[in-house]
């Protein structure tokens, strides 16, 4: 075992591995590079193994088609081909929502799809409409007529999502009606026969508000939850795949992480924690986009990660020891290493100010995504060391 030197703190590194294809045993495949990692002294007790959701779902062959989505939506909302269905607060994303929109439109090929977008940005910070246009218009409901003749391109992707969703719906034969409002009840003025609350993190609240006036409403996590390909998250966490397929989020994630944990204990004699991670909970300060388009940062995690990561304000303690207690560098270092000094400190004490407790799985999943997923580094497994010690 390669021991981490005392001068090195927590660390994270990605592991490269071959392509994962449907039908492969994901636990066996992931354990292979981890075994090599352990052999080279880079994996041990207390480490955290993070596996990206995409390779788990792919190994599970967890794909659905546009037709699958259309049939489910039609059935769950009791729609006919000429019905009017409404979609409230979808995010502006080709990868995440364009194929879902296609499935919704295909469920009413001779009907109408009413789309209510939030503005000026969607739930995860994607700009939907130009803020200057909104200010000039001065309305809390921007109608299809207000949008006519205008183009609003996303400042990062360059895509006009209003136009994109219009075209997707038209291509399926349905009539698109797109408007902007931040009040979910505004959709009722269009008299839909069924409503899909399409937001991610606020879906329960949106559905509750809609159902206070209209009962036939579902959320995306109620679609694609049964069958050979399914997920307990439904369509939440799905991604565009090839052709007319969507890759769902992994199913039975807790079984996967616990099986991997047990295998590493049995084969290598080490006690680790395991998680399946998706998007990190990262807010880009430059674009204002919130990275988390998945329902949560970690789809599943072993029990040892069900805790809060918290700490102490070392900078404050060092200043306090120097200025108020007149300690020298050696004495301050000894104090900072003395756990007994921290006993009895409450969460709201000044020693902890600036170290807001956060769920461990959220912190570590976000780190894993930055190391691997967001950088597209070809390292679908990330090892985190020194975080639980």
So what's the architecture of 11-62+250-306+360-385 in CATH? 2-Layer Sandwich (3.30)
Burial grade of 207 (CB within 10 A; 0-12, 13-18, 19 or more): buried
pLDDT digits (tens, 9 = 90+) for 82-99: 999 999 999 999 999 999
Contact 296, 369 (CB under 8 A): no
Q: Where in the chain is the domain with CATH 3.40.50?
A: 63-246
Contact 247, 238 (CB under 8 A): yes
Please report the pLDDT score of residue 348 as a whole number: 46
- Kindly report whether the global pTM for this prediction surpasses the value 0.75: yes
Closest CA to 104 of 145, 48, 135, 66: 66
C-alpha 223/C-alpha 235 separation (Å) is: 6
Which residue carries 């879906």 as its tokens? 203
C-alpha 193/C-alpha 264 separation (Å) is: 52
Backbone angles phi, psi at 119, to 5 degrees: -150, 155
Which residue carries 């990262």 as its tokens? 282
112: left (phi over 0), alpha (psi -120 to 50) or beta: beta
Contact 354, 373 (CB under 8 A): no
Q: Where in the chain is the domain with CATH 3.30.1330.100?
A: 11-62+250-306+360-385
Please report the pLDDT score of residue 324 as a whole number: 62
Please report the pLDDT score of residue 154 as a whole number: 92
Residue 189: count other Cβ atoms within 10 Å of its Cβ: 11
Please report the pLDDT score of residue 332 as a whole number: 65
pLDDT digits (tens, 9 = 90+) for 265-293: 999 999 999 999 999 888 888 888 888 99
* Highest CATH level, class, for 63-246: alpha beta
The DSSP letter of residue 67 is H
Q: Is the pLDDT of residue 126 over 70?
A: yes
Give the mean pLDDT of 44-59.
96
């Amino acid at each position: 075992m390669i021991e981490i030197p005392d001068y090195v703190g927590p660390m994270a590194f990605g592991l490269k591995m071959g392509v994962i294809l449907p039908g492969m045993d994901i636990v066996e495949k992931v354990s292979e590079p981890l075994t090599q990692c352990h052999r080279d002294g880079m994996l041990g007790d207390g480490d955290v193994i993070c596996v990206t959701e995409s390779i788990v779902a792919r190994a599970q062959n967890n794909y659905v088609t546009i037709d699958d989505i259309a049939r489910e939506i039609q059935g769950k909302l009791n729609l006919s081909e000429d019905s009017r269905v409404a979609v409230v607060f979808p995010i502006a994303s080709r990868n995440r929502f364009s194929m879902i929109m296609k499935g919704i439109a295909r469920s009413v090929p001779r009907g109408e799809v009413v789309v209510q977008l939030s503005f000026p940005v969607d739930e995860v910070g994607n700009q939907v409409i130009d803020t200057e246009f909104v200010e000039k218009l001065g309305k809390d409901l921007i109608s299809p007529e207000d949008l006519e003749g205008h183009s609003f391109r996303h400042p990062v992707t360059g895509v006009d999502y209003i136009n994109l969703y219009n075209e997707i719906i038209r291509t399926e034969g349905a009539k698109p009606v797109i408007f902007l409002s931040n009040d979910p009840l505004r959709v009722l003025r269009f008299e839909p026969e069924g409503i899909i609350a399409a937001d991610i993190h606020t879906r329960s609240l949106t559905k509750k508000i809609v159902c206070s006036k209209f009962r036939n409403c579902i959320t995306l996590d109620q679609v694609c939850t049964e069958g050979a390909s399914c997920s307990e998250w439904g369509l939440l966490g799905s991604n565009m795949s090839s052709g007319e397929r969507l890759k769902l989020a992994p199913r039975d994630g807790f079984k996967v992480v616990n099986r991997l944990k047990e295998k590493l204990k049995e084969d290598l004699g080490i006690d680790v924690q395991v998680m399946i991670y998706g998007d990190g909970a990262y807010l880009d300060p430059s674009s204002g986009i919130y990275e988390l388009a998945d329902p949560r940062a970690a789809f599943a995690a072993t029990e040892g990660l069900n805790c809060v990561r918290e700490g102490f304000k070392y900078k404050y303690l060092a200043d306090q020891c120097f200025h108020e207690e007149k300690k020298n560098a050696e004495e301050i270092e000894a104090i900072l290493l003395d756990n007994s000094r921290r006993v009895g400190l409450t969460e709201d004490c000044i020693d902890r100010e600036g170290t807001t407790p956060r769920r461990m799985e959220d912190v570590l999943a976000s780190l894993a995504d930055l190391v691997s997923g967001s950088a597209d580094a070809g390292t679908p497994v990330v090892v985190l060391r020194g975080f639980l010690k």
